[in-house]
Structures are given as structure tokens and as C-alpha cells.
Amino acid sequence: MDELERIRNKKLKELMSKMSKKGGETVAKPVEVNLFNFDEVISNNENVVVDFWAEWCGPCRMLAPVIEELAKEYAGKVLFAKVNTDENEVLASRFGISAIPTLIYFKRGKPVDSIVGALPKSELKRWIERNLLV
């Protein structure tokens, strides 16, 4: 692991500890995750939406500002995480990602639902609300 990756992981751990169930700050923007911190992020937060995306993906770029808005709206309730599939092929393979953007909803560390495609914000909100109630 290179120095930049080590620093990034350290900062993410600090952020995640602040967000732990004991209280602390809420995160109002998506968090970049990778193979090294994915499991920790998922297990330390009750509700997580993971956006599997790639830089070259047009629909992914269209969805990005919507994810940013949803992260602000659901801060404290749902953590939004982003996985760049080009940089994290092992994670993409682990969850069977064959099309992007794919969003997977994790509840208490387990994947409970997923959607594929750049859906409108209203549809994404319905999807999130439905999963919050489960």
C-alpha cells in the first residue's frame, strides 16, 4: 500500500469513528471506499448506499450530483459510499456488478437491495425510504 493510500485509509478510519453509533458528526457527502476499507465502512454504519461507478460512464456522471444531494438529505440516517469499479475490480466482482451505475443498499452490514441505472431522484428516494423501513 502506498503512502497516499495509507493516509486516505487513516483519515477514513477517523471519519468513521466520529460517525460510529456512539454519536458524533454526520457525513453529508459520499465517502470514497475501496477494497481496504469497504468492510469496515459497511459494518460500522447501519444504513449504507454504495454507488458502483466508473469515470468513463456517462450515466454514472449524471447520477453523481443526485447522490451528492441525497447524501445531504439523508445525513445521519444513511451513509453514501462510492466504489470506482475500474480501481476496485475485486469489489465489483464480489457483488456481481455487471452494469453501472449500480446502487446496493446495505443494512446492518448485509446487502438487502440493489438497483441498476441512473434513475430519477424521486425513484431513488422511494427506494431508500422503502429500505429504511425494512
Tally of helices (H runs) and strands (E runs) in the chain: 5, 5
For 20-120, where are the alpha helices, taking DSSP H only?
38-43, 58-73, 89-94
CB 51 within 8 A of CB 30: yes
Given the residues 48, 50, 57, 83, the one annotated as active site: 57
38-79 pLDDT, tens digit each: 999 999 999 999 999 999 999 999 999 999 999 999 999 999
Collapsed DSSP state (helix, strand, coil) of residue 32: strand
Asked whether the predicted pLDDT for residue 1 surpasses 70, the reply is no
Q: What is the CATH number of domain 28-133?
A: 3.40.30.10
| pTM for the structure as a whole | 0.81
User: Using 50, 70 and 90 to split pLDDT, how confident is the model at 22?
Assistant: very low
**pLDDT average, residue stretch 101-114:** 97
Q: Is 60 a catalytic residue?
A: yes
Given the residues 12, 41, 60, 103, the one annotated as active site: 60
